[in-house]
Structure 1
Amino acid sequence: MEIDELKQIIKNADTAINREDFDDLMDFYSDDATLVIKPGMLAKGKEEIRRAFEAIADYFNHSLIVNQEKMAIIEAGDTALVIANAKLSANQKTNSEFSMERNATYVFKKDLKGTWRCIIDNSYGAEILE
């Protein structure tokens, strides 16, 4: 059942991104989470992550749509690794190199209340090595 729960949590996060509901989106993350904005650029903590998502929304002229096509979830106790085929689209993207399909990696940890929170959000997956 944990796998279905994590898939739903990720779907809810994608919905929050698509609606630009950054208050809801911040519930998805742990207080000390890290977001890979792009290779070599990280946002740490909810405040920086929120600002990053606001900037991303501006960059895509508020037209970004995100969803995960396929997911593989590996769970060990209170930690889970999620590998997902992330699809991104934007009707009004500004000019730049940007991969619209990625094999993302996410790390989740259960908090003390038993709620899964994202602690590492890396939509670039192994691309950060390049």
Structure 2
Amino acid sequence: MAHPLEEIIASADTAIVREDFDTLLEFYSEDAVLVIKPGMSVTGKASIRKAFERIAEYFHHSVQVQQAGMVVLESGDTALVLAKTVVSASNLPAVTRNATYVFRRESGGRWRCAIDNSYGHELLAGRGPTA
């Protein structure tokens, strides 16, 4: 059986493609972080909405997102999702990203995305070792 988060992420992907940002924001926690690109992220639903609006414009309202594989690691009210996310647009050939998402289950049982990082470990590129 698929984990419920797989369906939630598929629904969020559909909302991105349709540019249904009202629906999309329901998937995020109030304090969520969205990685726009390495070195640039935003926090909070209002900023996330603006970011998705700008992304849609940049990609000529043609963004396509789908998952090509996913693993969910759950512990209590927290889940880490590792995914192969395929992103394309009319001005972007299909690229596959090794995405990482963090979800929290709220008191009512609903999962919300707290960290949306479609770039995964790519964020480490160009950084030296840390102590």
1:113 aligns with 2:112: no
- 1:4-19 to 2 correspondences below 5 Å: 4-19=3-18
Please give the alpha-carbon distance, in whole angstroms, between the structure 2 residues aligned to 1:19 and 1:99.
18
Please give the alpha-carbon distance, in whole angstroms, between the structure 1 residues aligned to 2:3 and 2:76.
16
Runs of 4+ in 1 over 3 A off after TM superposition: none
Please give the alpha-carbon distance, in whole angstroms, between the structure 1 residues aligned to 2:97 and 2:67.
9
Contact 2:3–2:72 (8 Å) recurs in 1: no
Please give the alpha-carbon distance, in whole angstroms, between the structure 2 residues aligned to 1:99 and 1:106.
20
How far apart are residue 85 of structure 1 and its match? 0.2
Question: What is the DSSP-based 3-state SS (H/G/I as helix, E as strand, rest coil) of the residue aligned with 1:43?
Answer: strand
In structure 2, runs of 5+ residues without a counterpart are: 126-131
% same residue: 58
Structure 2 residue identity aligned to 1:42: S
RMSD (Å) for aligned C-alpha atoms: 1.4
Please give the alpha-carbon distance, in whole angstroms, between the structure 2 residues aligned to 1:26 and 1:118.
10
Please give the alpha-carbon distance, in whole angstroms, between the structure 2 residues aligned to 1:78 and 1:39.
27
Question: What is the DSSP-based 3-state SS (H/G/I as helix, E as strand, rest coil) of the residue aligned with 2:115?
Answer: strand
- 1:36-55 to 2 correspondences below 5 Å: 36-55=35-54
Are residues 44 and 99 of structure 1, via their aligned partners in 2, closer, same or farther at CA, if it must alter by over 3 Å?
farther
Q: Give TM-score, length-normalised by structure 1.
A: 0.92
Structure 2 residue identity aligned to 1:32: D
Q: Give TM-score, length-normalised by structure 2.
A: 0.91
In structure 1, runs of 5+ residues without a counterpart are: none
> What is the total number of aligned residue pairs between the two structures?
125
Instruction: Report the counterpart of residue 86 of structure 1 in structure 2.
Output: 85
Please give the alpha-carbon distance, in whole angstroms, between the structure 2 residues aligned to 1:99 and 1:29.
25
